[in-house]
Amino acid sequence: DAGVTQSPTHLIKTRGQHVTLRCSPISGHKSVSWYQQVLGQGPQFIFQYYEKEERGRGNFPDRFSARQFPNYSSELNVNALLLGDSALYLCASSLGGAQFYNEQFFGPGTRLTVL
């Protein structure tokens, strides 16, 4: 079975640009979460979506936005990129729903470099 997939693998942008990261969850999973992981730190929660609705949002500025599509795939958008946005962006899927205790399955991540 295919795991969580993310695209692109690597991305280089300049300050002020916009970026879109994509994620496809495991088949049957209806929840997708996005995390930012800076070197030396644990993943920082950005968003969670379930059934196309936002279920949670972390402490990130409004430049960060996301959405989930009817096929449960998801996009993370970041506007007006800053140097500090350089990080590994992780997508995780889970069964979701009322089962808050479901473990998450992580994709390999998208490495974003902002110059």
Partner 1 sequence: AQSVAQPEDQVNVAEGNPLTVKCTYSVSGNPYLFWYVQYPNRGLQFLLKYITGDNLVKGSYGFEAEFNKSQTSFHLKKPSALVSDSALYFCAVRANTNAGKSTFGDGTTLTVKP
Tell me which residues touch partner 1 (CB under 8 A).
Answer: 3-4, 33, 35, 40-45, 48, 50, 54-58, 90, 92, 96, 98, 100-101, 103-109
- Please report where in the chains the tokens 């930012």 appear, as a residue: 36
Distance, in Å, from the CA atom of 35 to the CA atom of 71, rounded to the nearest integer, reads 20
| Shortest CB 102 distance to partner 1, Å | 9
Is 111 in a helix, a strand, or coil?
Answer: strand
Q: Tell me how far, at minimum, the Cβ of 48 lies from partner 1, in Å.
A: 4
Question: What is the three-class DSSP state of 98?
Answer: coil
**Shortest Cβ distance from residue 15 to partner 1 (Å)?**
27
